[in-house]
Amino acid sequence: MPQYTPMMQQYLSIKSAYKDAFLFFRLGDFYEMFFDDATRAAQILEIALTSRDGGGKERVPMCGVPHHAAKGYIKRFIDQGYKVAICEQVEDPKQAKGVVKREVTHVISPGMVMDETILSEKEHNFLAALAHDDEQYSLALCDLTTGTIHTTCVQDFERALEELKVARVKEVIVSAQMMDLMREQSWTVSVAQTIDNAAELPFAFENKACLPALLLLTQYLQITQQRSLDHLQQPRFYEPDEYLTIDSNGRRTLELVETMRDKTKKGSLLWLLDETKTAMGGRRLKEWLDKPLRSKQGIQDRLDAVSTLIEGFTSRHDIREKMTAVYDIERLAGRISYGNANARDLVQVKKTVSTLPGIQRAVSELGLPLASLLAEQVTALEELEKLLANSLLEEPPLTITEGDMIADGYSDVLDRYRDAGRNGKEWIAALEKRERDETQIRTLKVGFNRVFGYYIEVSRSNLKNLPEGRYERKQTLANAERFITDELKEKERLILEAQEKSVDLEHQLFLELRQRAQQFIPALQELSRLISELDVLASFAEVSERSGYVRPQFSPTGELSIVDGRHPVVEKMTMHQHYVANSVTLDNTTSMLLITGPNMSGKSTYMRQVALIAIMAQIGCFVPAKEATLPLFDQVFTRIGAADDLAAGQSTFMVEMMETNDAIQKATASSLLLLDEIGRGTSTYDGMALAQSILEYIHNHIGAKTLFSTHYHELTQLELTLDALQNVHVAAVEDQDTIVFLHKVEPGPSDRSYGIHVAKLAGLPDGITKQATALLQQLEQTKGQAAPTAEVGATQTVAEQLSLFGEANTASKAAKKTPAPSKAEATFASELASLDLMDMTPLEAMNWLYRMKKKVQ
């Protein structure tokens, strides 16, 4: 470092403490970056890379962005998962002796964003801390913009990752010892170098199990933010088992918050239910969707409120109309505490608080329990509303250093400064009129600019009419001369001094006002909680009434009975036209449905709608059905759709097996399983054997409510051996050489797959479908014999389908014709007979089949 200039040494010294961030080093009106930061930033931000002399042998790479435009560039860094350390001048350059003192004032990262232009208003921005001790993992999730903190403990690392995925965290803080575990994760990962386990938390919290994560979180925030964090709320501890568990795969396939294809909100359950009027309500709705309740009382309380809001249409309409005037006071409270709230933010707080009495009256008319709680906040915030109403102008500027924020009458001193400024401007206008009259120069004017101050301007053509010695020349222009007088100089000094003092005093008064507003932050946060819950419940009522949803009932015996259920999103996307409703009944005698039918007939939609109805019920919303009686599910597992995980080197079939295994290992009798065409990713024999094995295992060992769709029609014979399994099919009819999907689920198995008909609908060439039809007919005629040959144009043989459920006498006759088994065959048969299928997982069964196949080969 000695080889570099003092300024560059200062930069390198500060940068050494923020190696994982781009350092925005303030130089005048620019934030500059140097060395590797500059080289990388120039590529990421697509800005020019230059260089400067830094005192060393070679020029130092450099790039920079204007101070006033920094937000846009910071957003680009954050969107790509990078961190930015803001280094400001903390010393007046005029008073500096040598290099101006600079310090990092705060760090901006994906999990520590406070700028509303970067944030999504209806989505939490969670920063997470993950810690591990000998027994468990502790997690702390914090939205710095609102001060919200959630914390929990789990036993294994995979469950901890799942909690982070459910919360959609933007950044994870870990200790250096845990960094290796997090390298393969997609989040921005930050390392806390030191943790003081003896430090005190900035709030009261008694759950010692979560203390490691909370200490990690709060100490990291204190180091990186360098300012007051008084808005951090009391952490709320939750047990994951208090809520309906839906893993990240289930959330994706059920499209709870975004669609699988486009990753957009439109087309998801969140899109359907989100009629909220406030940003706080939008975030609360997402929280409820992330964690549906398992407490029957908690669900009933929400359903009671939705019922009341549906019945009270007029009051509900009044509440929702007034909600449009409610600003995001949860994040505004955070900005007030954080110290970056401006005058417009405080005006928004005032406007929100002023709407409270009207909302509270409407809630009281409905008799909702929220009414009394809202009344308390009306009283608690009356003083704040009065303070802000008396102190601030209605339309202040965005900045707090230009004045025009504070209302007249709030400060006597400020009023005197303003009076001097206003009277001075009136004096200037009077001076202009007087000079025009005395000089008879009608174009004479008194003007002002920031460089020369006040001046008297006379055009060149009128200079001859100007009395000699009347003015003192100040500036010469092409077409005019500018003058000054001693009287104007004195008045200029008084006016500018009053304006300067007025702006400085307004800034000081505003800082004091913002400081006074901080004492109301707890009340504002409690108000935001009440408003957000009311907003979501009113949204549920609005959607439920408009779409004809019904209140669900909950069965104490675990029965599931849905009469004319609908898929809520598909119904809305089709504008309620021609939607075919379907019923489903699962009880203690029939807990499994085996669903057959052609592709495109609606099997997956039928399965998904059962899960969505259950989830909607457990978040406290009415459901799309004529009647619905449901159990309280503990978990929902889905295996719908297939995709390769190329990054992990996993095929479609492997992903399918892993997801199925996860469901089988974790499911209980109180779970809901949706399994779509298990086994289709491998050969017919393997797939069918696995599908049967999985069905039998769920039936005999788990007993979960299960919807299992398949194209293996042989599996429908399981209804004869599995007491709790019932066959249903999605009806379709042939119309000449095409197929009509009825989308109606009916009892019994499907007789055909209609695969060739679906291929025709997909537009395959006639030559292919005609040949396939001929091959199919020949296969059906020669079932059990040799495969068809090239008589129908085929050049390859087609293997016959395996029948797992042949009659016993047929098998006996075949055995008589079969030669005595070889030694290898006898060994194979002996090993097969010794298998205990009921104790094998699907993955173990697949591995055994794989080994046998290798031996045969």
pLDDT of residue 788: 42
Q: Sheet holding 553-554: strands in order across?
A: 553-554, 627-630, 560-565, 582-586
Is the pLDDT at 798 greater than 50? The verdict is no
- Is 445 annotated as a binding-site member? no
Is the pLDDT at 794 greater than 50? The verdict is no
In a domain, 252, yes or no: no
The answer to whether 729 and 745 are in contact (CB under 8 A) is yes
Same domain, 593 and 623: yes
Is the pLDDT at 818 greater than 60? The verdict is no
Rounded mean pLDDT, 690-717: 91
Is the pLDDT at 600 greater than 80? The verdict is no
pLDDT of residue 795: 36
Is the pLDDT at 488 greater than 70? The verdict is yes
CATH number, domain of 447, equals 1.10.1420.10
Identify the top-confidence range among 15-19, 572-576, 654-658, 687-691. 15-19
Query: With left for phi above 0 and alpha for psi between -120 and 50, is residue 35 left, alpha or beta?
Result: left
pLDDT of residue 467: 84
- Is 602 annotated as a binding-site member? yes
In a domain, 523, yes or no: yes
Query: Of 748, 768, 749, 746, which Cα lies nearest the Cα of 759?
Result: 768
The secondary element (H helix, E strand) that includes residue 706 is strand 705-709
In a domain, 401, yes or no: yes
In a domain, 255, yes or no: no
Enter the DSSP assignment of 187: S
Is the pLDDT at 839 greater than 70? The verdict is no
Is the pLDDT at 381 greater than 60? The verdict is yes
CATH number, domain of 34, equals 3.40.1170.10
Same domain, 442 and 585: no
Same domain, 279 and 391: yes
Same domain, 491 and 375: no
pLDDT of residue 790: 39
pLDDT band at 367 (very low <50, low <70, confident <90, very high): very high
pLDDT band at 334 (very low <50, low <70, confident <90, very high): very high
Q: pLDDT tens digits, residue range 107-129?
A: 999 999 988 888 889 999 999 99
Query: Measured between alpha carbons, how far is residue 490 from residues 145, 427, 487, 653, 710 in Å?
Result: 49, 12, 5, 87, 93
pLDDT band at 470 (very low <50, low <70, confident <90, very high): confident
Identify the top-confidence range among 495-499, 651-655, 819-823, 851-855. 495-499
Same domain, 568 and 694: yes
Domain end: 507, 539, 561, which one? 507
In a domain, 209, yes or no: yes
Is the pLDDT at 407 greater than 60? The verdict is yes
pLDDT band at 162 (very low <50, low <70, confident <90, very high): very high
CB pairs under 8 A, 24+ apart, for 314-318? 315/362, 315/363, 315/365, 315/366, 316/366, 316/538, 316/541, 316/542, 318/358, 318/362
Q: How many domains does the chain have?
A: 7
pLDDT of residue 812: 42
- Distance in angstroms (rounded) separating the CA atoms of residues 443 and 481: 12
Q: pLDDT tens digits, residue range 297-331?
A: 999 999 999 999 999 999 999 999 999 999 999 99
pLDDT of residue 782: 64
pLDDT band at 789 (very low <50, low <70, confident <90, very high): very low
CB pairs under 8 A, 24+ apart, for 10-16? 10/99, 10/102, 14/87, 14/102, 14/103, 14/104
The number of residues making up the chain comes to 857
What does pLDDT average to over the chain?
86
- Distance in angstroms (rounded) separating the CA atoms of residues 285 and 287: 5
- Distance in angstroms (rounded) separating the CA atoms of residues 457 and 431: 13
CATH number, domain of 684, equals 3.40.50.300
Tokens of 290: 């992330």
Same domain, 618 and 713: yes
| Residue reference for tokens 């400085």 | 504
Query: Measured between alpha carbons, how far is residue 158 from residues 132, 136, 670 in Å?
Result: 13, 12, 22
pLDDT band at 821 (very low <50, low <70, confident <90, very high): low
- Is 599 annotated as a binding-site member? yes
Helices (H), 312-342: 313-323, 329-338
pLDDT of residue 588: 85
Same domain, 610 and 630: yes
pLDDT band at 649 (very low <50, low <70, confident <90, very high): very low
Rounded mean pLDDT, 616-633: 97
pLDDT of residue 771: 72
In a domain, 253, yes or no: no
pLDDT of residue 813: 40
335-344, 397-406, 841-850: which has the minimum mean pLDDT?
Answer: 841-850
157-166, 193-202, 263-272, 279-288: which has the minimum mean pLDDT?
Answer: 193-202
Is the pLDDT at 498 greater than 90? The verdict is no
Domain end: 108, 137, 170, which one? 108
Query: Of 378, 344, 645, 336, which Cα lies nearest the Cα of 512?
Result: 336
Pairing of strands 102-108, 84-89: antiparallel
- Is 72 annotated as a binding-site member? no
Q: Which residues constitute the domain of residue 64?
A: 6-108
Query: Measured between alpha carbons, how far is residue 747 from residues 379, 468, 593, 596, 726 in Å?
Result: 61, 112, 10, 10, 8
C-alpha 706: how far from its chain's center?
30
In a domain, 70, yes or no: yes
Q: pLDDT tens digits, residue range 577-599?
A: 678 899 999 998 999 999 998 77
Number of other residues whose CB lies within 10 A of the CB of residue 630: 25
Enter the DSSP assignment of 124: -
In a domain, 256, yes or no: no
Query: Measured between alpha carbons, how far is residue 242 from residues 85, 633, 740 in Å?
Result: 39, 11, 45
pLDDT of residue 804: 41
The secondary element (H helix, E strand) that includes residue 732 is strand 725-735
The answer to whether 666 and 637 are in contact (CB under 8 A) is yes
Rounded mean pLDDT, 210-236: 88
Three-state secondary structure of 367-404: CCCHHHHHHHHHHHCHHHHHHHHHHECCCCCCCCCCCC
pLDDT band at 497 (very low <50, low <70, confident <90, very high): confident
How does 731-741 read in b/e, with b if 16+ C-beta sit within 10 Å?
A: bbeeeeeebeb
Rounded mean pLDDT, 650-665: 80
Same domain, 169 and 203: yes
- Is 600 annotated as a binding-site member? yes
Same domain, 694 and 712: yes
Rounded mean pLDDT, 506-515: 94
pLDDT of residue 787: 39
pLDDT band at 534 (very low <50, low <70, confident <90, very high): very high
Rounded mean pLDDT, 696-713: 92
CA atoms 226, 180, 131, 163: torsion sign? positive
Tokens of 839: 């104790």
CA atoms 467, 468, 470, 476: torsion sign? positive
Is the pLDDT at 786 greater than 60? The verdict is no
- Distance in angstroms (rounded) separating the CA atoms of residues 628 and 233: 39
Q: pLDDT tens digits, residue range 50-93?
A: 999 988 788 999 999 999 999 999 999 999 999 999 999 988 88
**In angstroms, what is the C-alpha Rg of the chain?**
37
pLDDT of residue 448: 85
pLDDT of residue 823: 66
CATH number, domain of 209, equals 3.30.420.110
Query: 173 forms bridges with which residues in the sheet?
Result: 129, 190
Amino acid present at 802: L
Q: pLDDT tens digits, residue range 90-108?
A: 888 888 888 899 999 999 9
Q: What percent of the chain has pLDDT over 90?
A: 55
Q: Which residues contact 656 (CB under 8 A, 6 or more apart)?
A: 639, 642, 678, 681
Better pLDDT: 208 or 483: 483
Q: Which residues contact 171 (CB under 8 A, 6 or more apart)?
A: 109, 110, 111, 112, 127, 128, 187, 188, 189, 190
Same domain, 158 and 95: no
Give SS3 for 240. Answer: helix
Helices (H), 552-682: 568-573, 603-618, 652-666
Same domain, 275 and 356: yes
Same domain, 366 and 503: no
The answer to whether 744 and 578 are in contact (CB under 8 A) is no
